[in-house]
Amino acid sequence: MKFTTALFVVLAFFASCGQNSEKKNSTKEKTKVGQQVNENENEYRLRTGTGKEFIVKTHSTSASLNDITIVPKGFDEVNEPINIKDADPVTNVFTADVNGDGFDELYIITTSAGSGSYGTIYAFSSNKDKSVTPVYVKELPEKEQEKVFKGYMGHDSVYVSGNRLYCKYPVYKDGDANCCPSGGTKVIEYVLRPGEASWILEVKNN
């Protein structure tokens, strides 16, 4: 499992979906809303439950990498764009109030090119609609990663149900080909909690 530990979230995994951006949350895995700007660009517009807006723009820099720009709209104090360089292709964009504070966060899911299709989550908190800041994803110790994500080889999806964030992926047993996982599926829940300097996204203790 791949993890991104920069201040843009994240986690290693997750593949796609599609949502109506006018809805506050989605109970479906398909939550992506996109509009083709030109052959190298896409634009996603999402409105939060409190009427703020996120505009997410992607620009392809190569066959497998993208630059991402997040433009907050209508926030009380700070609306400065946030840039992410050399990210994998965006496969899902949605908002959800995972921490239950009444203000939606923004979640951007990217998925690596190739047969593995490993994903990464970039998440941003609303800070009570005053400003937008990156969420930090707590990385599990290596031994705990091997236990929690046993059988993980990508091909995952991230979705929100009842304001809770989940990752679902096919479980691979020893000897399984990439095309043919034989261990069923596993679902992991994440929680968003306050940290000293930012919100932290981590695997929920079972």
Number of Cβ atoms within 10 Å of the Cβ of 148: 14
Run of H or E including 58? strand 53-60
Ordered by start, the domain boundaries in the chain are: 35-203
- Three-state DSSP at 94 gives strand
Each of the 206 residues of the chain gets a pLDDT tens digit; together they read 443 333 333 333 333 333 333 333 433 343 445 566 667 789 999 999 999 999 999 999 988 899 999 999 999 999 999 999 999 999 899 999 999 999 999 999 998 887 778 888 899 999 999 999 999 988 777 778 788 888 888 888 888 888 889 999 999 999 989 889 999 999 999 999 998 888 999 988 75
Alpha-carbon gap, residue 109 to 121, rounded angstroms: 5
- Kindly report the pTM of this predicted structure: 0.80
Alpha-carbon gap, residue 184 to 168, rounded angstroms: 11
Run of H or E including 142? helix 142-148
User: Are 60 and 132 spatial neighbours (Cβ–Cβ below 8 Å)?
Assistant: no
Tokens of 29: 């895995």
